[in-house]
Every structure is written in C-alpha cells, then in structure tokens.
Structure 1
Amino acid sequence: MTSNPVAPLSLPGKTVVFDYGEVISRTPADSVRDRLLALAGATDIDAFWASYGRHRHALDGGSLSVVDYWRTLASENGLDLSITRIHELWAIDFPAWIDPEPGTVDVIAALHEGGTPLAILSNAGFDYASPLRFSPVGSLFDHVYVSAEMYDLKPNASIYRTVLDELGIEPSAMVFIDNKAENIEGAQELGITGHVFTSPAGLESFLRGLAAPAPSV
C-alpha cells in the first residue's frame, strides 16, 4: 500500500471548500475541442465557442437541460444535431471536465488524512452531481454542492450563504479554493478566506501557511 505523497494537513476550526473544474480536474485538452468541432460540423469556430460559453451559466444554473443546451448551440450555429449526435458530443465534453489533476487530489487526500472537513462547491450541471459525489475523490468530501441543484451560481453571495448555513459555520471558518478570481472575490466579500488556484504546489503552500502557528510576540 502506497502512502499519500503529501503529508497529512490539518486546519483546526476550518472547512475547506473546493471548486471542481480546473481545480480538482484539469483544463480540457485542445484535442477535445477539436473533436467537438469536427463532430458538430461547425465551420465558424469563433461563433461555436461563443455559444458554448454563453449558455454555460444557464446549464450550470439549472435553467437549461443538457439536451437543450446543445440544441441551443445547434440553432445559433446552423447545425443539424440529432439526439444521437448530441449524446456523442456530451460523451466527449462531459469527461473532459472531470479528468483529474493528480496533484490537487493528493492535497485533498492530505487534508482528509489530517481530519480537515471538506466540501465541493461547483458551478456544474445536474449531470455532474453523481461523479462529484460518488467518484473516488468524492468519497473524501463531507458535502457536495452542485450549482444546478441549487438553482444558483458563483459568485452570487446567496450561494456562499447557502453553503455556510448548511455547513453550520461562520464565514471565518471557511476556506474557499477556486480557479476564477471573481468567484474568490465574491466569497471574500462575505469574510471567507479565499485562494485563486493556479497549481497544486501553490495550493499546498497556501494551505500549509494557514496551518502554520502564528509567530510568538
């Protein structure tokens, strides 16, 4: 049995809340984007990706289903997408957003080993609820919050307040990790400690800084 490469990490009195996409998972590879374009038959690349991004908030906020999301992209880009083709596109896009970043998983495992309470707060559609909860890394988390299920989105103050209320903690007891600065700023406005994720090494350094005892005076 191999031990976790990152030493146990304990943050007494704190709950660490993680975003998922591009924090616990990697940024989707360019090859994924190429496969989506080819399968969709999109010729105006810029217009396709503009549609892809523009409607993601509605998908993640629970107001647009996965099928309607792809149908909206098809309508805006003059594409003819059958339900079969939509499922094929989804089957390429979906796993690309859960491809793990091993270094971050190591840090999460270290926090878990150290007894630090953990939660996920992800802007994600309903379809991500199961893997975020029941994947191997999901087993390390005490709570998982998926924005579509909450009909809310980061960086709205309301979504952080809901998480704080459900965790039963004050803002000062929450540490939030996200790759988007605007989401961290939204949390910090409520008094939550935040860290903009750029790398697993930077994340570990930040968390160990929080765990270090204050210098004596």
Structure 2
Amino acid sequence: MSISIPGKIIAFDYGEVISIEPSTADRAEILRVAGAQDEPERFWNIYWLHRFALDQGTIGPKEYWRRIEHDLGAQWDTAQHHELWLRDFRSWLAIEEGTLAVLIDLQRGGTRMALLSNAGLDFTSYYRHGMLGDFFEEVVVSGELGLLKPEPAIYHELIERVGVPPADIVFIDNRAENIAGAAALGIAGHVYEGPGELRAFLTGLAESVKASSAVPPHVVL
C-alpha cells in the first residue's frame, strides 16, 4: 500500500527507528571479545560515555575503542580492536522489517524522504551507498558535521539541504529530546514507538494532507 504525502519531507532517524536494537547475542559477543563478561554494566557505561565523541566525529573508531580499553584497564591486541569494531558495527546494521515496509510504501507513493542520524563516520557510506540510500534525497550525519541532535545547527543543516520551510518537514525519532529540538525550529515531529504505530501516524498524515488539498478555494462573489 503506497503512502503519498505531497508537499512534505519525512526525515528519519536511523538507530532503533530504521535499525533494530542490537540483539542480546550481539552484546554478549562484544562482551566476550572485550573480556568484560563479568562487568557488563561497567562496560556499557564506558561504551556510551565515549559514543558521543564518536558520533560527533571528534574521534574515529580506533580512538573510540582505545578509550574504552583505557577506561576498562584492559589490554587488547590489534585483532581484538578490529573484532570489537566489526561486531559493534554489524550489530547496528539489522533493519526493522516493519519500518522498511513503511519506507517502501512512502517511496511508492512519491513521498520525499531524508535521513538525519547521530552516527560516526564509518556509517556514512552505508547510509548513502547501501540500499538505504535509495530512499533518501539527503543524508545528514552528525559525524560529518561535528554536531549532534538535538543541537539546533544540525536541524538547520537538514532544512538547508532539503530546501523547504521547516513546517514542511516531519521528523521521526525515537528520542523525545530530539523531537523537541526539531520542534523548536518549527519542524513537526513524531516519537517513534514501533513500525505499526509509525504506519498509522503516516497514513493519518497522508489522509489529512489529502483532505486539506481537496477543500475548494473560497470564492468571492
């Protein structure tokens, strides 16, 4: 079923909207390679502590894993560094099939789309040159800009690239603070709660836009 929303650009976050959360098995393998099976909470706290710098592009993947190694007090060889990066990167590649179906139906309906993601530089080629890139007119990645959602400047970048007023953009993200950041600039937002709920929201939006465009202009006699 196509979803046609003329006059709007639907901008999507990637992580846990288009992609699914890394699986329990993926996380267990990362802990195993890191030798941190006995202190998972500490490991993940350090993992997320340095993730902001990675997503902002101020450090690359190599430095990111070196910082985690240092803070854990671990000693990893080159092979472990590469395996940790690979397992972590791969864990974020799995796509939510329900969201993919929504993207396909939006594309079938001729709806314009963009991607706005907090992610490191290693994801940029995947976003643009993998099959996902077929959906999006513009791909805005935090690591390329030195910016992170919900900083206003990253939304300004999105607005400039798609070339439409903020009111004509609808942003889908799983974090309320990122939606609030977009809303502060006049971008409509929707907090993602799952593919079924997303489809219902976008279908309702399509019907609303269709209904408003069908209203005849006021005629002055």
Task: Quickly name the TM-score band, shorter chain normalised.
Answer: over 0.9
2:14 matches 1:11: no
2:165 paired residue number: 170
1:143 paired residue number: 138
2:189 match: secondary structure: strand
Bigger mean CA deviation after superposition, 41-50 or 80-89: 41-50
Distance in 1, Cα, partners of 2:78 & 2:173:
33
Aligned 8 A contact 1:21 1:98 in 2: no
Distance in 2, Cα, partners of 1:137 & 1:88:
25
Distance in 2, Cα, partners of 1:135 & 1:180:
25
2:176 paired residue number: 181
TM-score, normalised via structure 1 length: 0.93
1:63 Cα shift?
Answer: 0.3
Structure 2 residue identity aligned to 1:101: E
1:199 Cα shift?
Answer: 0.7
Aligned 8 A contact 2:137 2:162 in 1: no
Aligned 8 A contact 1:61 1:123 in 2: yes
1:65 Cα shift?
Answer: 0.8
1:132 Cα shift?
Answer: 0.8
Structure 2 residue identity aligned to 1:29: S
1:71 paired residue number: 66
Distance in 2, Cα, partners of 1:30 & 1:56:
19
Structure 2 residue identity aligned to 1:21: G
1:44 Cα shift?
Answer: 2.4
1:117 paired residue number: 112
2:5 match: secondary structure: coil
Structure 2 residue identity aligned to 1:28: P
Distance in 1, Cα, partners of 2:184 & 2:78:
43
Structure 2 residue identity aligned to 1:120: L
2:14 paired residue number: 20
Number of equivalenced pairs? 210
Structure 1 segment 19-168 matched on structure 2, within 5 A: 19-42=13-36, 43-168=38-163
Aligned 8 A contact 1:118 1:141 in 2: yes
1:148 Cα shift?
Answer: 0.2
2:171 match: secondary structure: strand
Identity among equivalent pairs (%): 44
Aligned 8 A contact 1:59 1:69 in 2: yes
2:15 match: secondary structure: coil
1:94 Cα shift?
Answer: 0.3
1:83 Cα shift?
Answer: 2.2
Distance in 1, Cα, partners of 2:141 & 2:79:
26
